[in-house]
Structure 1
Amino acid sequence: MALDVGCGTGRFTLPLAPHFKKVLGIDISDSQINVAEQYNTASNVSYMVAAAEKLPMKNDSVDLVNASLAAHWFTIDKFASEAMRVLKREGCLALHGFIPANEIEYKNLSHDLTVVMLETWDTLFQHVDTRSTDHMLCQYQTIFEAIPLKDKERITDINVKSPMTIPEIIGFFQSIYMFQQFLEKDAERAKQFLIHVERRIRDILGEEAYSARLNVYMKHYCVLACKH
């Protein structure tokens, strides 16, 4: 049994399906769970609305508690206590996040594209939640310290290169919480901001804008632990 906490639309839930008999994804957002259910393609995966601080599982019933790009939103001491409760003996806890490495690589245009990326993040970081951002920027050091297990490890600075098209890059920015915060404060300005970012990238790429796959770098990190 695997439990994916803060699963959102199921982006990191479905990849667990081939490795477990049952997978449950939970999130506090009704709308996110509705989307996850709509796109569920695995018969052994299910979803429900529930909080990270009150996991809907029996004691000692779960082999893996996973949280990807989500743990920085939890009340960590309560979540950690719940994770310890539901995990079986030899069960594992896996928490994963990333911070932008602020670099785009494409032929001889990398510098100009990276400038756009840096300036985009500068704007988005004006709409951060300080508590969650602190967890991310320290690469889950504070979360690692809060896990009440001796067998644990924190792995940082995992550089990941993701080839992305322009629509995928813009879609990524649209999906992150900082843009959603921006959208709530000033919807028209937020939409125009992303239109401007896309136009700048297309202007740099010229005729190649429609076919180019740009290498976008992100710095990932994780906390892994085992209950004995």
Structure 2
Amino acid sequence: MANDIYIVTIQRQFGSLGRPIAKKLSEILQIEYYDRDIVELASREMNKSREELSDYDEKSYSKMKYPMGIGTPKMQNYLFSVQQCIISEIATYDKSCIIVGRCSDYILRHLKNTINIFIYAPYEKRLKNCIEVLGMNENEAKDMIAKVDRARDNYHQYYTGMPAATINGRQIMIDSSFVGVEHTAEMLADMIKKRVAMGFEE
């Protein structure tokens, strides 16, 4: 693998606008962007529709569905295993990329050329984003933030043994409300370029 090839993983809180930031970052860096494409690739591998898999993806997963919060259905574990293989395969491509969510930072934790980012924002800012950017009403926004936060926390804890907002393995944790989507992406791009210029050898 070339010394200038790198992989950016982005985990994010719901309503922090992590996805728009990731997309803008991919435009600035001119590298590939993988997010829902991973579910699409998994659906082909599993011979299932994206709709069938939606309840088992990270945003929808919740132990609330299971008595005493114990165990996960076979389909959930199968989907995670397939996505894990897809993410690992993407990492072998001879090109830089951004991978959003799905415990990608944990899955690729043994690679040297990763830059792991966690995007968050204060609750009131996330609520405002859900209403003004995502078009939800206030009650719907509050409900979605609570449900998705719980689902992602449970998903990440179950598959990695760590909370979703852990500092372990993350090099950058940033409040997206501090300077907004575009400037956050620009700041991240600058840091990534500097890190790549330094090289990834220990």
Report the TM-score range of the alignment, normalised by the length of the smaller protein: 0.3 to 0.5
Q: Which has the larger radius of gyration?
A: 1
Give the number of the structure whose residues are more often helix, by fraction. 2
TM-score norm. by structure 1 comes to: 0.34
Instruction: Say which structure, 1 or 2, has more relative contact order (CA 8 Å, 6+ apart).
Output: 2
